Structure 1
């Protein structure tokens, strides 16, 4: 007789199957299509350009990115970095003696006027005031030349091999130069300072110290026009052309683009924005491994019904193109024998990108592995299928031997009786 079917069992299975298929469909839809063609890098008017991912410092694309060029007021990114290294924000500096040319940008600092470092940095980074740059240099370095020496020392520490400074202001000089790649790296360094990152993301600011309040405006118009653009610095001279180091953050990704030698402000902004948009369209972060994530389970030797979870010790997060995939290879034992402490290393994960190993992560036990007692091990040995067969064979063999010996004795006894 067929046993009665449990009510709802078929519906439950069908529901579970439908749920599984739905989750699989969601996963397929969420995953970027490997066959989708990614956009090509944009065509630029800039003489040189570069775009980098901020958290990793990884270069993504460049045009003449290593060529040395005049950099105008993007020089002031380094001026700001050295100033915050040397001066507290609340320090008050006395305006340096500086005679700007009529075309230079300034906030009109008067000789002897006193202004806080905080306000001087805002004047430096937003309207690009040359008198603020000169004042910060003398205040932080004691002299203009010592400050320039500090700028070059910091460039060496940051690994900017295509960069040299001869001014804190950025007026044209054959010994004041950088590359698009180095300018992008400078932009990344600036964004790591909380005050400077907030400053370059401001459309305007009011300087409350000094002889009178001043309101200054950010020359980087992308900060005002594009919500996710958050810095960094413009530059322009007739010889250098129009420059921009632009940064943006959205969807958990941050990029910095640098363009130099563009023919106009409009072309400068369009080039930088195109590079940032291209970076977002073509790159993503993948996290194939998360810390404490279970990647395998091992049976406990002599107690196979118990399983020990094996977990990763750290997270692997990799910037990749949207059409790339990462592969995780697990090397883990199927069985473990205790005692082992919690977090004992018993295996490993290998993360591969296009066949190349990019990370190796230890696999450890999530819990301690107990020692199985002697009696339990003996019982396990007895109940194992192979062990039972061996026991049956041994017992059968012993029984057959005894029967043969017993038969032989009976035959001998019968022969003796017949002989008698």
Structure 2
């Protein structure tokens, strides 16, 4: 019984860890007005805490255009991380991924029957937004574009994306392909957190292939007044101009902005920069709990141990207006009346709640720091007796 229950819990934990850092109360209004942003939809999110600082129609479904390639890149990067493919693999360019199939759209200019490394194709996707590279890599990873798209949508489901569905690996407009500003911010956060080696490529300013040098279309990479290191641009006639950007400041606070449906090429950079600078000027990110450091020990009933350490497996962060740290109030709440075995390391058993001006603004989940198995029959009987007596009083 313990083995089965533990395995189920571990599966659930694996899924929850995908969004572990997004524990803050969503869309808290701190009363600080954001700048006027000229976009159909936008969002500004703190990467570490997941706190949403500013939005306009964040869940509105939009054509994602080449922002789609962020998920394509994630699938590729995760396949490399898991050893399913290698960046040194050689891919033969077939009819479906030949550059001539994508006239008038962004490409890395692949030639028919050309031998290209996965590493080059990946840069063709990330840096120069090559639609041809997306098809080539999709076929290499999954055997076909259809199977690759299934993988993209499986990751979208794992990430908990509510307004995203992919029908292509490149993002050219399709009526059944859509995403939202919020969902794109979450994809960006996963890229940064889960695939740091993959994410480094997003900061590269140009890529040369077939003796053709092309720049990264994210112009904020060249802006010395803000430390942007990604992420992705997108544009089609129906989508307008899109940009997912991420920047970090001197205090290691990282923000992710998404603007979608902007009217001009340059406008998406202007609007993104306004959001990012406003966020850095008005907010700070605070590490409140340290990974693997227990905050207390809690009694365990029906277990082969009487106590278990409780804390967080990943650093816990919250985001607050600048200068308000001393005004924070904190309380701890546990699930149920007590902890009962079996428990699995990483299992959520309570939360730390942060309050500002009488309003809950953020929570961080508390987890047990190790497994606790079930006690024997006599130990369980003794704990049952203790709990029964306690309930009487």
User: TM-score scaled to structure 1, two decimals?
Assistant: 0.62
Encode CA deviations 1:290-315: one digit per residue, 9 max, x unaligned: 7999x9xxxxxxxxxxxxxxxx9787
Q: For residues 327 and 177 of structure 1, what CA distance do their matches in structure 2 show?
A: 40
Partner in structure 2 of residue 376 of structure 1: none
Aligned to 1:276: 276
For the residue of structure 2 that corresponds to 1:185, the secondary structure is helix
- Tell me the equivalent position of 1:320: 320
3-state SS, counterpart of residue 101 of structure 2: coil
Per the alignment, do residues 287 and 195 of structure 1 end up closer, same or farther by CA in structure 2, a change over 3 Å counting? Answer: closer
Partner residue in 1 for 2:235: 236
2:198 corresponds in structure 1 to 196
Alignment of 1:5-154 (within 5 A): 40-86=33-79, 87-97=85-95, 98=97, 99-154=100-155
Matched residue SS, 1:167: coil
Kept after mapping to 2: 8 A contact 1:48/1:67? yes
CA displacement, residues 366-391 of structure 1 (integer Å, 9 cap, x when unaligned):
xxxxxxxxxxxxxxxxxxxxxxxxxx
- Separation in 2 of the partners of 1:141 and 1:170? 18
SS at match of 1:62: strand
CA distance in 2, matches of 1:93, 1:176: 27
Q: Tell me: CA distance 1:287–1:198, structure 2 relative to 1, closer, same or farther (3 Å).
A: closer
1:236 to partner: Cα distance: 0.5
What is the CA deviation profile of residues 240-289 of structure 1, one whole-angstrom value per residue up to 9, with x for unaligned ones?
Answer: 10000111011211111111110001211111111111111121123567
* Cα distance, 1:190–1:262 mapped onto 2, change above 3 Å: same
Counterparts of 1:127 and 1:49, CA distance in 2 = 24
Change (3 A) 1:217 1:38: same
- Cα displacement (A) at 1:108: 1.4
Partners of 1:54 and 1:283 lie apart in 2 by 13
> 8 Å contact 1:288–1:326 — kept in the other structure?
no
CA distance in 2, matches of 1:145, 1:292: 41
Structure 2 CA distance for aligned equivalents of residues 240 and 145 of structure 1: 23
Q: How does 1:253-332 map to 2 (within 5 A)?
A: 253-287=253-287, 317-322=317-322, 324=324, 325-327=327-329
* 8 Å contact from structure 1 (residues 52, 59) kept in 2: yes
- 2:64, 2:353 → 1: CA distance? 41
Give the gaps of 5 or more residues in structure 2.
1-29, 80-84, 296-309, 333-351, 368-393
Unaligned segments of structure 1, at least 5 residues: 1-36, 296-311, 331-349, 363-420
Inter-CA distance 289–222: structure 2 relative to 1 (3 Å threshold): closer
CA RMSD between the two structures: 3.0
Residues 1:203 and 1:239: Cα distance change in structure 2 (over 3 Å)? same
Q: C-alpha distance in 2, partners of 1:164/1:361?
A: 32
Q: How far apart are residue 205 of structure 1 and its match?
A: 3.1
- Tell me which structure has the larger Cα radius of gyration: 1
Cα contact 1:95–1:135 (8 A) shared by 2: yes
Q: State the shift of 1:328 in Å.
A: 5.7
Q: How far is 1:190 from its partner?
A: 1.7
Which residue pairs with 1:404 in the alignment? Answer: none
Pair 1:156 & 2:157 matched: yes
1:168-247 equivalence runs, <5 A: 168-192=169-193, 193-207=195-209, 212-226=210-224, 227-247=226-246
Q: Distance in 1 between matches of 2:365 and 2:189?
A: 28
Normalised by the length of structure 2, the TM-score is 0.66
Compute the displacement of 1:358 (Å): 4.6
Other structure's SS at 2:256 match: strand
Looking at structure 1, the residues matched to 137 and 365 of structure 2 have their Cα atoms a distance apart, in angstroms, of 47
Q: Deviations over 1:131-164 (max 9, x none)?
A: 1111111111101111111111111011111000
